[in-house]
Amino acid sequence: MPGDGPAEFFRKAEAELLDLSIEAQRADWVYATYITPDSEALSSRAMARLLEATARLAKESKRLPAGAWSRDDARKASLLRVSLPLLAPSDPAESERLAGIVAWMQGEYAKGRHTPAGTSEPLTLEALSRILTESREPTVLEDVWTGWHRVGRTIRSKFTEYVDLANRGARELEFADTGAMWRSKYDMDPDAFVKEVDRLWDEVWPLYRSLHAFVRSRLRSVYGPDRVPESGPIPAHLLGNMWAQTWEWIYPLVAPPESDDGFDLTKLLVGRGTTPSDMVRYAERFFVSIGLDPLPASFWERSMLSRPNDREVVCHASAWDIDFVDDLRIKMCIEITGEDFQTIHHELGHNYYQRAYARLPFLFRDSAHDGFHEAVGDTIGLSVTPGYLARIGLLPEVPDDSRDIGLLLRRALEKIAFLPFGLVIDRWRWSVFSGEIAPSEYNRTWWAMRTRYQGVAPPAPRDESEFDPGAKYHVPANVPYLRYFLAHILQFQFHRALAKTAGFSGPLHRASIFGSRDAGQRLGRMLAMGSSRPWPEALEAATGDRRMDAAGLLEYFAPLRRWLDEQNRGVPVGW
């Protein structure tokens, strides 16, 4: 390869990477759906081979002769350097060690259990999460929260070594560290990207601050001033989610009677005897309604839609493209809830994106940037409106607009509450990778950042014997997280543009593109571009704009913002 020109080099490189990526996908699928020491070892070995090849080829591409490179080859060289979230050190033993640590951390996370006080049965994360959503007893909530977070203690023992090895690989390709490598995926200088993220956060911060003040005031009236401060951070275990990343499960506690949204999607689904497969069929029919093809038969044969009873699995929902053509799958332990109904639309968004760019050269078979991949399914989720639910027969009629504040409040507890959490995870990891945060300060700085951005605090003091970042899947699994923050901005930008294309002229929160072939064609043009062009061009194809902004989000929630500001009169805002 070193003697090849750019075109021939990338032809060979893409063929090698495709073979190794398929091998790694198959091994990782088996591991995630059948956790054993053997499947862990096979997954680790396959990933090590892919990491080694990617790093080797990226280094070789830098030695290609200068000259008249095609636009596509120059872009492939850039993408190759950032194509994986891990760059392996050139030492084979270190490369294999790094892959093994990541596989081990994922396995430890998946095997995490806690036996709540007064019970005898160790519970999975899913079961513990149900308690957090349903119980209103603070001591029970604190026990469950604390019990699950112990999973980080074990993971911490190898996390520091993982950071060191990952940074060695990144520096061999002339990145300052792994965090800088992650930030280099966005077609701009890593430092410029930080400023772009700060700009987006500044746009949405006032809305989050208003929602936070409202929720804190309501929870204080429920749990009392001894548990919820008047003007400080909210205790994380009272927010209905293991990581306080979304707050929709506390909606009944914070919504005044007059803002009832008129229906309970979970009850509607359960009342119809909906199965996990039915849940996926609903989402598939949405994508088909806008002109996209049905899922392949292999999807239904090979996906994991429910938790098996006979083995350990990774239940965290994910979408897979095993052969990078049409072997599409999802892995998910589906429960019949409104939350999972939305999650399935999100996961199929990944699958439909994967299918749309499957015919491009291998290095272009990805989204414009990772926030785009996360945003597509959530954009469809924004069209899961009462009007849509009525059209597919889940609601007998559309509630009148007097219920809209309830709908918007519930969605804000999901979408707006998430924004600072989506920022914190990678803000913290960027500082860990750069060395700004030392191992002796992992947990202290984690909570300092969560308090600063989210305005939440742990139920009791946490010291450095704990490793609370490790209690969130994406940290031990080495999955960059800022994509979700960006997706929460982009989905509203997409939704506004596609709703206009579909001819919708009412309030943005009532818009649904279900059944609009025009909107589907516009979305499809962006999906088919994959990562072949810089993301501003893909954004322009979908929205007409080349700059990410929160205008769509702010328009969507404008009626709620006015309502929140009224509710917050005389209430402390901030922490």
Could you report the per-residue pLDDT of 240-295, keeping only the tens digit for each? Answer: 999 999 999 999 999 877 766 667 889 999 999 999 999 999 999 999 999 999 99
Domain assignment present for residue 260? The answer is: no
Neighbours of 506 (CB within 10 A): 10
To the query of whether residue 8 is one of the catalytic residues in this protein, the response is no
pLDDT reported for residue 23: 97
Are the C-beta atoms of 115 and 124 separated by less than 8 Å?
no
Query: Exactly one of 40, 108, 142, 347 is catalytic; which is it?
Result: 347
Residue 2: pLDDT band with limits 50, 70, 90: low
Spell out the residues 6+ positions from residue 125 whose beta carbon is closer than 8 angstroms to its own. Answer: 112, 148, 242, 315
Identify which has the larger pLDDT, 264 or 236.
236
For residue 43, being part of any structural domain is answered with yes
Structure tokens at 17: 């990477």
The question of whether 316 is a catalytic residue gets the answer yes
Domain count, the chain: 1
In a domain, 450, yes or no: no
Which residue out of 388, 481, 484, 556 is catalytically annotated? 484
pLDDT of 68 over the 90 cut: no
| Average pLDDT rounded to a whole number, residues 528-557 | 97
Digit-coded pLDDT (tens) for 384-395: 999 999 999 998
Nearest one of 101, 139, 146 to 466, comparing CA atoms: 146
Asked if the structure places residue 134 within a domain, the reply is no
Intra-chain end-to-end CA distance of the chain, in Å? 58
pLDDT in tens, 507-516: 999 999 999 9
* 402's tokens: 């007097």
Marked catalytic residue, from 41, 127, 255, 317: 317
Q: Which domain covers residue 32, as residue numbers? A: 6-114+150-175
pLDDT in tens, 456-478: 999 999 999 999 999 999 999 99
Assigned domain for 245 exists = no
Q: Establish if 480 belongs to a structural domain.
A: no
- Percentage of the chain exceeding pLDDT 90: 85
Longest dimension (CA), the chain: 73
Q: Which DSSP string do the residues of 287-353 spell out, in sequence order?
A: HHHTTPPPPPHHHHHH-B-S--SSS----S-EEEETTSSS-EEEE----SSHHHHHHHHHHHHHHHH
Round to whole Å and give the CA distance between 122 and 113.
Answer: 6
**For residue 289, what pLDDT is reported?**
97
Average pLDDT over residues 542-550: 96
- In this prediction, residue 4 has a pLDDT band, given cuts at 50, 70 and 90, of confident
Percent of the chain, pLDDT > 70?
99
In contact, 227 and 238? CB cutoff 8 Å: yes
Which one of the listed residues 237, 350, 488, 509 is annotated catalytic?
A: 350
Lowest mean pLDDT segment, chosen from 29-38, 149-158, 261-270, 422-431: 261-270
Mean pLDDT, range 181-194, rounded to an integer: 94
Residue 73's pLDDT band (boundaries 50, 70, 90)? Answer: very high
- The chain-wide mean pLDDT, for the chain, equals 94
Q: Quick one: pLDDT at residue 260?
A: 66
Residue 340 has a pLDDT of 93
484 is catalytic: yes
Q: pLDDT grade, residue 3 (50/70/90)?
A: low
Work out the angle at residue 13's Cα, subtended by the Cα atoms of residues 12 and 15, and round it to the nearest 5 degrees. Answer: 65
pLDDT, mean of residues 100-129? 93
Asked if 374 is an active-site residue, the reply is: yes
Q: Which of 371, 366, 483, 464 is nearest to 426 (CA)?
A: 483
Q: How many CB atoms sit inside 10 A of residue 459's CB?
A: 18
Work out whether the CA dihedral 437, 443, 448, 453 comes out positive or negative.
positive
Residue at 238 is within a domain: no
Residues 6+ apart with CB under 8 A from 237: 132, 138, 141, 142, 144, 145, 146, 244, 458, 459
257: closest CA among 414, 477, 405?
405
Q: What SS3 state is found at 93?
A: helix
Measured distance CA(87)–CA(174) in Å, rounded: 11
| Predicted local confidence at residue 344, as pLDDT | 95
Rg (alpha carbons) of the chain, rounded to whole number: 23
Catalytic (active site) residue 345: no
Q: How confident is the model at residue 316 (pLDDT cuts 50, 70, 90)?
A: confident
Q: Is 346 noted as a catalytic residue in this protein?
A: yes
Q: Considering the entire predicted model, what is its pTM? A: 0.91
User: Which residue in the list 60, 127, 474, 558 is annotated as catalytic?
Assistant: 474
Structure confidence at residue 403 as a pLDDT band (50, 70, 90)? confident
- pLDDT at residue 314, as a whole number: 86
Q: For residue 322, tell me if it sits in a domain.
A: no
- Buried-state track 511-543, b at ≥16 Cβ within 10 A, e below 16: bbbbbbeebbebbbebbbbbbbbbbbebbebbb
Of 108, 335, 374, 466, the active-site residue reads 374
Active-site choice (212, 346, 373, 488)? 346
Q: Is residue 24 among the annotated active site residues? A: no
Q: How far apart are CA 511 and CA 502, in angstroms?
A: 9
Cβ atoms of 98 and 44 closer than 8 Å = no
Q: Answer yes or no: 317 catalytic.
A: yes
What pLDDT is stored for residue 261 in this prediction?
63
